[in-house]
């Protein structure tokens, strides 16, 4: 039996030697196939960990996220049309209805050119209520948070993401400076710690200029 096994091994090596190119292709196919499977599994695990980390970072036991149709969002943006999915009156009515159970927040965003002195970048203005920052787990790096008073008085103040801080101010302090967003001007009251792109939202948090929702409505 051993001699038969040995004979089979020898014949196998002889066959491989006679067809070196074919053998090489076979080996490459096996190696690439195994590497691809390992890569897919790694990407899957990485994606799963990211989703779980996002949920743990921002979600409370009673958190409910509502999203628009992103395909429709992209279509409207490409056509240069405003993206609107919830009126302010609808938002206030929802807030009233859930007041005994929790809070509700919203975000209204527009693509805009941001400028400070001779520096500029393309970013987004995001009209939000003060509860938004806590709802999505954003941290303040410098300055102060937006308040209900800022919202009610339609103050022209803003909190900026870390990417805006670096692009427009570099190493200079941003708090107290005035940033131009399109034709409007806002005083910086805070700078956020870097957050990156969220699983829940398809844009980065770091290139947004956050202003009171009421200010955005009446600008």
Taking only the tens of pLDDT, the chain with its 219 residues reads 545 545 555 455 455 455 555 555 565 555 555 555 555 445 455 555 655 555 555 545 555 556 666 677 778 778 877 666 667 777 777 777 766 656 666 666 778 999 999 999 999 998 888 888 887 889 999 999 999 999 899 999 999 999 999 999 999 999 999 999 999 999 999 999 998 876 556 678 999 999 998 888 777
| 166 occurs within a structural domain | yes
Count of domains for the chain: 2
Structure tokens at 13: 């090596």
Q: Are residues 21 and 104 in the same domain?
A: no
Q: Are residues 40 and 114 in the same domain?
A: no
Q: Are residues 49 and 138 in the same domain?
A: no
Dist CA 204 CA 19 (whole Å): 54
Dist CA 199 CA 205 (whole Å): 11
| 63 occurs within a structural domain | no
| 105 occurs within a structural domain | yes
């Amino acid at each position: 039996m051993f001699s038969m096994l040995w004979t089979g091994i020898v014949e196998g090596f002889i066959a491989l030697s006679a067809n070196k190119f074919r053998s090489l292709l076979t080996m490459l196919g096996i190696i690439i196939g195994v590497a691809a499977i390992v890569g897919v599994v790694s990407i899957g695990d990485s994606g799963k960990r990211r989703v779980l980390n996002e949920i743990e970072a921002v979600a409370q036991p009673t958190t409910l996220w509502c999203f628009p149709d992103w395909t429709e969002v992209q279509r409207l943006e490409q056509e240069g049309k405003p993206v609107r999915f919830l009126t302010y009156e609808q938002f206030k009515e929802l807030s009233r209805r859930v007041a005994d159970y929790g809070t509700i927040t919203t975000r209204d965003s527009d693509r805009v050119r941001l400028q400070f002195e001779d520096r500029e970048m393309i970013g987004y203005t995001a009209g939000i209520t003060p509860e938004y920052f806590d709802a999505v787990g954003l941290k303040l790096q410098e300055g102060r948070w937006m308040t209900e008073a800022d919202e009610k008085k339609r103050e022209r103040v803003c909190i900026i993401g870390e990417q805006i801080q670096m692009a427009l101010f570099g190493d200079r302090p941003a708090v107290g400076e005035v940033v131009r967003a399109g034709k409007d001007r806002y005083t910086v009251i805070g700078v956020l710690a870097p957050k990156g792109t969220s699983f829940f939202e398809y844009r980065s948090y770091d290139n947004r200029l956050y202003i009171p929702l009421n200010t955005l409505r009446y600008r």
